[in-house]
Structures are given as C-alpha cells and as structure tokens.
Amino acid sequence: MIDITRFAELSQRDHGLAVVAPALPDGTAHASVASAGVLDHPVTGVPVVGIVAGGGSRKLAHLRTHSRATVVMRAGWQWTAGEGPVELAGPDDPLVGVDPERLRLLLRETFTAAGGTHDDFDAYDRAMAAERRAAVLVTPAHIYNR
C-alpha cells in the first residue's frame, strides 16, 4: 500500500485546495480545482484521497467514462501528486457497500477531511442530496513529491 500521509499534511495547510485532473479517453486531461483530503475508504478502510463533486459537473462526467485521475496538492513550494483509479459513490453512482445513510456520512467525512466546516450539517446533507453530489475516491497507484 502506498503511503498518502503527505496528502493529509498538505491538505491541512492550504484549505484542502487541490488540482484534480481526470484522464480522458483521448489521452488529454481535464484539470480543475477542488477541495480534497484523506479519509478511509468506506468499504475497504484503505486511505484514499477524497473529493466531493457536483452531480452535474464535467469532472464527474469525465470520471464516469474513464475512472483514473491525478490529484495534486500543494502548500507553498511543497507538493505531492498521486495518480490512480477512482471510485465514485453518489446517488447516480452507487458503490457496493454504501447505502444512502452511509453516503450521507461519507459526503460529510470527505468534506471535513478537506478542512471543511459547517454550522448546520442537516442543511449540508440536504444541499448535497439536492445537488446529487458524489464522493470521488482516488487510490493513488503512483506518488510524486517535492
């Protein structure tokens, strides 16, 4: 198993901001900025890099067709990048072992792992459901650091 501790360290230093670049079938990448953090996979328990993606986002559409991505986290001049397979868990992207209640909690866990806070998690849950948001779980197969 690859050690992704550096992702967790860097995510706490710059509000969890990361560049996420899903691989596209034509060999190009679609890069965007998102909040990311490290959490345990909801089924396997293996540490993964997690992101919450909007249900109608291009990022999520790309990940549905080609489930690999690179995530780059940085703080100052320190950075780490990880590339690997992606699993999705959301209302439109069922993940075996994740029922609706577990999904609700997983979206919270992913958000807080990226440094997010909320005064009313019931309102957060309603917004996530209305926006059909999904958890994007990246298991880095390769890590690059500086």
pLDDT at 92: 97
Enumerate residue ranges in the chain where pLDDT < 50: none
Q: Which run of H or of E encompasses 129?
A: helix 121-130
- What are the helix and strand counts (H, E) for the chain? 4, 7
pTM score over 0.85:
yes
Contact 90, 136 (CB under 8 A): no
Q: Which domains does the chain have, with CATH numbers?
A: 5-140 (2.30.110.10)
Q: What dihedral angle (degrees, nearest 10) is formed by the CA atoms of 49, 54, 55, 58?
A: -90
- Of 90, 145, 143, 115, whose CA–CA distance to 38 is shortest? 115
